[in-house]
Amino acid sequence: MANDYTHSIYMPIPWEIFHRDTRVLAQRIIAEHHRYDGIIAIARGGMIPACIIARELDIRTVEAVSVASYDDRAQGAPRMLKGVDTDLVGDGDNWLVIDDLVDSGVTASVVRNLLPRATIATVYAKPEGQAAVDLFAVPVQSELWLLFPWDAELKPNEPLARHHAGPSKGA
């Protein structure tokens, strides 16, 4: 069943907050006292946090897997766009998979099937997808649609009153 997020509450996340939350995830990973051979970013959203995590964990080997499950803001069936080099990563044993958000858990499940022994970690996690990942930094409510810094435009906005009423008097 496809989820339609067109009526969600939008929550912009500035770069500074995203970086802070990603470092929180890195601290949780470090607390696990496990050293990974490499990181696999889930493209596209997981690429930026994977770079931050790679730096914080001092890991130089970073791969990517690409799974598409969203078309704009509607979720549909997942499609594998790019797999990983199984000669390098095998079944994921001792590899860390990073994504920005687990929503329904569909993408994480596809990656889990591909790399059953990998550790999957996300910066943000909605309740429906939390069981699909091993670690996450920040829980978020189901109705929130996160606007990541690379997805949002920085531009002035109109006062809210102008969206709900006609032109203001006495301007």
Q: Which 3-state string (H, E, C) describes 83-114?
A: CCCHHHHCCCCCEEEEEEEECCCHHHHHHHHH
Q: Which two tokens stand for residue 68?
A: 């598409």
| CA separation for the pair 22, 19 (Å, rounded) | 5
* Cβ-based neighbours of 118, under 8 Å, separated by 6 or more: 40, 89, 91, 92, 93, 95, 96, 97, 111, 112
> Is 90 exceeded by the pLDDT of residue 110?
yes
Chain segment 70-104, per-residue pLDDT in tens? 665 666 677 788 889 889 999 999 999 999 999 99
Q: What is the mean pLDDT of the chain?
A: 88
Chain segment 114-131, per-residue pLDDT in tens? 999 999 999 999 999 999
Structural domains for the chain:
9-152 (3.40.50.2020)
* Cβ-based neighbours of 155, under 8 Å, separated by 6 or more: none
Confidence (pLDDT) at 151: 84
Top pLDDT among 2 and 6 is at 6
Residues designated catalytic: 99-100, 103
